[in-house]
Every structure is written in structure tokens, then in C-alpha cells.
Amino acid sequence: MPVITDPPLEVLPSSRMLIGASTDVAPTCEGVPHRYAATGTETATVPFARPEDVDAAVDRAAEAAIVWRNLPCERRRDLLLSFADRLRDDDDRLSAISVIDSAIKARGFGRLCAETLAYNAGWVDKLGGEIVTSYVGRGFDYTVPEPYGVVAVIIPWNAPALTMTSVIAPALAAGNAVVVKASELAPFAALRIGELALEAGLPPGVVNVLAGDGQVGRCLTGHPGVQKIHFTGSTPAGRDVLAHAATNLTPVGLELGGKSGNLVFDDADLDVAAKLAVAAATGLNGQVCTAGARILAHAGIYDELVDRIGTLMGRVVVGDPADEATTVGPVITDAAAVRIVGMIERAADSGARVVVGGRRMDGEYARGNFVEPTLVADVDPQSEIAQDEIFGPAISVTRFEDEDEAVEIANGTRYGLAAYVQTHDADRAHRLAASLQAGMIYVNGGLRAHPPSAPFGGVKGSGFGRLGGRVGIEEFVHHKNVWMNT
């Protein structure tokens, strides 16, 4: 039985709120205790931003946005590269903070964040408009990309450092200032990134960080001083964001949930397919929106694949997130653990077969929110566990007979974030890439982290808008048209 250690609280950032250069928290701020998910240990009190704090952050961002966009482009580029260097140098501490935030196995988070910032910094001096052919009258017509101004960025708790950086990097590169609302369940990495932005020399107010619950998010998304919103989180919460943004007709980008089908055909490498399935269920403790843990397996290899996945799941090392030997840690809260186990039990009651796991863990694990690594086979594609996000260390497996049925099952959810295809038939891979309703298709494998140069985003109930590459920068500018009479 492993020993689950308490976290090193000395690595936590000193700030609990960042508005401009100020980290002062008003004595009237209400707060909640943050608890380390692996042990239940209280780490620190997280103050909720008040409406006046939101006002102050938006006002400070509006002032800083003017300063930021008016800096020479090479100066903004160099400051973002300096910011990236700070993140890279802070790798060990930022990774340790990320462990405390969400009890995830975090390695190299500072480096990954730095790569995202450095890539987007390269776009600062490459954004340009176009010369437009004039159809009516004689004139010189051109377009200019302009930043929105203040961008509200709402991030989730499952990988806050990576999520925050993936949004603020293109927003800052496009010339905007940001107000980040971090989850009260995992605020510390976001606050540390805000501190590093100041240390790197970014003007105070370009990056502001608040923490709080949905009420703080509603105050921010309904704020008249916000010109653009980007939200990452659940689909129901995304609808709430849209409703509040509608008050001021604020444009919104949404990166929401997923229920990614992982289609395994009879010509696939089953060793690779089984390893990919287990990695999907254990990365970030299974709390990943793109996780390919909804396995759709061809009837010809179904039983063999289930056996292989079951064997690997039985070898998963559950333990301390800070331990290098650990494969999977706890889920974020006690309520999450109860929900996940309930989903598995209801699946079994409806006829599915629990091959491995399925229970809350006891003994040394009882202090935290540990759920056994779980494999559920013979899953009805219309059942709850096949339709709703598990967001924990669990895999479901459903049988299909042919390609058409596989596509029908894969597309038969309200989500459309990612899809995975395991086959050595190139023609089939291209057919499925065209047929699957998802924003991202991965063939014969997956990625530890989505590259900053490639678009990330979904369709259907998984949201709209993209991060990554040039289209990610374009999310954070609007195009002004200028016509001059000649």
C-alpha cells in the first residue's frame, strides 16, 4: 500500500488575486478552503472575487490594453518570449503547484506552457490585413486586424496552467489584455502564471487573475467592459456563458466537453490501441475533455482487445500524484468520485460488464478521492456511460460490426470534440476523417499535448472557435475595413 504524502505548500504563490500589479485581497472577500484531492488536506483559503474586484480588473485591463497594443510589435514579441523564458525556468515549481491544484501527475508543465507562448509570440509581427479589390467606385481598399481590447478568459480546474496559457498566448499576441477567472478548485497555477507575467516585464494589467465560482464568472461574462470571452468547461456552463454574454452581445469562444469515440478496426495494432485506451483513461487522472476512452471495437477483435485493455488496466499504479511511479491519482472532489462510481454501477445494472475496478478505493486511499481504474465492456451506445463524460479513470467498450455502424455510433452523441481511428487502411482512415463529426481526428495514436501550431476545438455540443495556429490568433482580432477615394 503506497503512502500518500501531503503536498509541499511552500511552492504555492504568495498572491491570491492579481489586479494590475496588486495582489491585495480585501478583508471583506469571502473565501473557501482549497483541499488537496489526494489527502483531503486543506492547503490555503481561496478568496472569491467580489463584483467590485471584477470591475477593477476589467478597468485595469482596459487601460493596459491600450498601452500593450501601442507598443512596437517587436517589443511585444520580445516581452512574450521573456514571459516564455520565465515559465520555462519555473518548470519545477509550476509543475509542483499543478500537482497541488488538481492532484494530477504534472511533469514539464512550465516547459509546455513556454512552448505555447513562444509559438504565439512569433505571430506578433506577422499579423496583417489584405488589399481588397474595389467593385463599386474607384478606391484603395484594405483591411486591418485589430485586437478586441479586454478578453475574459475562464478556465477549468483539470489542467489550469496548460489551459490558461493556450488561451492567453494568442490573446496577448493579438494585442489584447486578459482577465482570467480561475476555478476555486484549482487557482494556484493561474496565479503563479500571472506573477511570472509581471516578472517578465509585461505592463501591469495586461494579465489579471481572479478566482471564484460560477457567480464570479457570470459577473465577468456579463460585464460591459469585456469585448471578447473565451470559456473552457462543461457544455451546460457554456450555455450559461452564452446567456450572460448576450446581454452585451459579446462574442464568445467555447471549448466544451467531449465524448471522443476511439474506433478500433480488425487490422489495427491491438497493443498500440490498448495502450492508447489506458493512457486516455489515466492522463490527468482521466479528467480530459479529449480522452479517447469510449472504445468502439470491431466484432472480430472485440474480445481480444477487451482482454488486453483489462490486463493493462490491472497494472495501472494508483498512488501519490507527486510520485514518479504513479500512473493515476485521485479525481478532483469527493462529489466527482461519487458521481463516477454511480455511473459505473448504473451501467452494470443496465447490463454492461465491469471487467476491472468500478469502486471507490479504501485504506490509505480513503483520505482522498480515489476511484479504481475501471474497464466496462458490452456498453449500450445509448446508455449514460456511453453518452455522458465520465471524467475519471474509466474506459467503456462497445462492439460494432462494420464501418457504417462504427460511424453511426461514434457520431451518436451531442459532443464533437475529438475522435480516434485505429486502422492500417489509409483509404478507410481518410473516409472516417471525413465522416466523423469532430473538430480533431487522430489516426493510429494520440498526443500527450496538442501542438500550439494546430487548431484545437470542436463542433456540436463541444463548442465553437479554435485555439492554435493562425486561426487561433484570428479568434482574438476583428478586421477593420478602410476605403480611400482615389
CB 44 within 8 A of CB 32: no
CB 274 within 8 A of CB 305: yes
How would you class 86 by CB atoms within 10 Å of its CB: exposed for 0-12, middle for 13-18, buried for 19 or more? Answer: buried
CB 382 within 8 A of CB 360: no
The candidate with the shortest Cα–Cα distance to 183, out of 206, 207, 205, 163, is 163
**480 noted as active-site residue:** no
C-alpha grid cell for residue 62?
A: 482596459
CB 220 within 8 A of CB 241: no
**Gyration radius of the chain's alpha carbons:** 23
The candidate with the shortest Cα–Cα distance to 100, out of 51, 53, 41, is 41
- Please pick, among 372, 389, 460, 475, the residue that the annotation labels catalytic: 389
Distance between CA 450 and CA 258 in Å, rounded?
A: 15
DSSP letter string over 61-115?
A: HHHHHHHHHHS-HHHHHHHHHHHHHHHHHTHHHHHHHHHHHH-----SHHHHHHH
- Please pick, among 105, 113, 115, 181, the residue that the annotation labels catalytic: 181
Amino acid letter, 398: T
C-alpha grid cell for residue 406?
A: 462504427
The Cα-based distances of 161 to 4, 320, 322 in angstroms read: 23, 20, 17
369 half-sphere exposure, CB direction, 13 A CA radius: 26
The Cα-based distances of 180 to 19, 81, 155, 217, 385 in angstroms read: 10, 20, 7, 10, 32
**Residues 6 or more apart from 50 whose CB is under 8 A from it?**
26, 28, 29
Residue 407 neighbours by CB distance under 10 Å: 21
**Residues 6 or more apart from 308 whose CB is under 8 A from it?**
270, 271, 273, 274
**30 noted as active-site residue:** no
- Please pick, among 255, 259, 372, 460, the residue that the annotation labels catalytic: 255
Distance between CA 463 and CA 478 in Å, rounded?
A: 20
- Please pick, among 219, 289, 372, 460, the residue that the annotation labels catalytic: 289
Residues with a known catalytic role: 181, 255, 289, 389
